[in-house]
A = this chain, B = another copy of it.
Amino acid sequence: MVDLRVVSARRASQSEPARPHGGVVTEKAALRSALDQARAAGRTVGLVPTMGALHDGHAALIRRAAAECDLVAVTVFVNPLQFDRPNDLAAYPRDLDGDLAVAAAAGARLVFAPTSTEMYGVGAQARVHVAGLADRLEGAARPDHFDGVATVCTKLFGIAGPCRAYFGEKDFQQLAVVRRLVHDLDLPAEVVACPTVRADDGLALSSRNALLSPAERAAAPALHRALRLGADLLASGGRDPEVVAAAVAAAFGHEPRFRLDRVDVVDADTLAAPDERTTRIRILAAAFLGRVRLIDNLGVTL
């Protein structure tokens, strides 16, 4: 097993090439074997699945995993199956060197960064679909997106073996899909949900933020402010989901750079319309700033 702290320190001091593979596991069999060995030695395993371009939000997941598990593996894989727009896949930020440094500093011991061919081979045919949860909200507009998420997560859990797996609440529907997937398919993982990490101005940290122009970055916190307004409305007794959603949408009017894509006010567990049994509401929004699509969400307990 590679100690990333050592590898990263050595790299920095020797000015090695930009994308080294020494500190990274690139083969599925190597990850499985390293984690099997750790478990055989009685160590617990934490898994932090990511698409790379690691930021402080990921670092928070890794730190939590490192606090709760003996060995933390971060996976860095920009999963083509979950992209519906080829341009989005091509533009997705990639920075393996930076990822190594963030992962090591946050306490990860292993980074698994496979190629697409290593992950899927040729002619892979199996797909995992989580009916209901994956068909709603984002899934309605992007029909294959959550199948891609569910399939790659099933594979990662299959490769990694028994572990605690850390996911951020920022991708709230993804978290719900993964939790359901693990439950329904009896995968040997325990899903741990972690709160969204925000910049001082409220913007949820996201790898896509790196794609914003300075002016767009300055406008971006309006997304969080609009959600906050919706949450305040709910907290002060507003109960009609459509009224709350309309108020959130209206709040975007103050920031003309934003093009609102969707606002949903749903039951936090089912992601369907709230009903009389609902005790936790989630407000989710997606909006474009230029060509970058940002998402965010907030919860309110009734």
Contact = CB atoms under 8 A, between A and B. Distances in A.
A187 B185 CA distance: 12
A217 interface: no
Contacts of A129: 126-129
Nearest to A156: B186
A218 interface: no
A162 to B, nearest CB: 8
B131 A186 contact: no
Interface in A186-204: 186-188
Q: How many copies does the complex hold?
A: 2
A275 interface: no
A129 B134 CA distance: 15
Contacts of A128: 126-129, 154, 185
Interface string A32-53: 1000000010000000000000
Contacts of A126: 128-131, 150, 180-181, 184-185
Contacts of A187: 158
Contacts of A159: 186
A124 B179 CA distance: 12
Nearest to A119: B186
A257 interface: no
Interface in A129-143: 129-134
Contact of A130 (B28, B120, B125, B130): B125
A183 interface: yes
Contacts of A162: 161
A134 B127 CA distance: 11
B186 A158 contact: yes
A121 interface: yes
Contacts of A206: none
Nearest to A28: B186
Q: Which 4 A-B pairs have the closest CB atoms?
A: A126-B184, A158-B186, A124-B184, A155-B186
15 contacts: A32-B188, A120-B184, A121-B184, A125-B133, A126-B150, A126-B184, A126-B185, A127-B130, A128-B129, A154-B154, A154-B185, A155-B184, A155-B186, A161-B161, A161-B188
